[in-house]
Structure 1
Amino acid sequence: MDNKVEKQKQKKSKSKFQLFLFAFVIPLLFCVMILLIVATVSGVNVFEKAKEYGSKIPYISSMVAGNESKKTDSKQTEDTIIKLEAAVQDKNTQMNRLKKQLEKQDRDKEKLLIEKKQLEEEIEELRNEQDPNKRAYKDIIKTYEAMTAKKAAPIIISMEEAEAVKILSQLNTETLAKIMEKMPPDKAAKFTELLSADTSN
């Protein structure tokens, strides 16, 4: 019995829904479709008109405004991101340019230091050449190097030890060895000892 009553209720609710659907919803949709076709053919933008009329209705206008503000906010955010990315790129370019400038300055500084050292050496050399005593001393050394060891050895032995050591220390190795061979063994040993001490100092 209950089942029959339940079934009858379900049938009634279905028939009411079908009646509502066929009597109201379908004709309404049909009318809306016809209106859309007519409006489109006559050149009226239905969606723009709907937005315009909707903005005059209190609740719907706030929804439309909310959507518009969201779009505006989104556009502003995108613009801000683009500007910030451009600023970052600009800063990177500036940093790279400064880095290259610093590297060039370091290279220029190193080059200047080398040139300075070369100039100082040239100045020192010129000063040495201008000093008559140094020029004369160089000439003396050249003279001893040009002499035979047999002639040079007795002259050096007869000098004061300090002066003899000074001359011997400036001679090239080959000339020094030949002169030492021509000296008496005790003198050769003495000068060798003095030269070693002078070199270590």
Structure 2
Amino acid sequence: MEKALKKQKDEKETTFFQRFIYWVLIPLLFALFLGLLIASIAGVNVFQQAKELGGKIPFISNMAVHENTEDISEYKEKIIELDAEIQNKNAEIEQLKKKIENKDAEKERYIVEQKRLEETIDELKKQQEENKRAFKDIVSTYASMSPKRAAPIVLEMSDDEAVKILTNLPTESLAKILENMPAEQAAKYTEKLSINAN
């Protein structure tokens, strides 16, 4: 009989627990789920509302404030670090911009200097061409002059100038001019001409 009572008591406890689950817990969970679903469809942020309500409860609000102050101080430190990093990066960017500007200015100076040098080279080439033409004119003038008139003029020149002109004269004109010079002067110029020819 005791076994039957014990069995009946166990059945009553089991049935009470089962009844609690079936009649209270499951409908409560279903209602909670349904409430969350309706609130999310309606656009209400349930978690935000719960946080606000939790802030009004003394014990929970103290915990939230303590967590918030820790989070805020961490965020402030991170913000300060990031600001410092941004300032360093901005300073680096400014330095690089100045370097680029200096390089650009230097490049411009080199371009201007190159153009100036090219113009100078062109001017020197033109001047050299003019000098060559003028020299050819002088040589052709001496070649067309009578040897009696050309020889005394050549003797009055410096040796370098005289040799330069005599070197460029045609062989016939050179021979006639040398014939009209005194023997020792003619020998001197002949010797210099032979040295230049080598």
Q: TM-score range by the shorter chain?
A: 0.3 to 0.5
Q: TM-score, normalised by structure 1?
A: 0.47
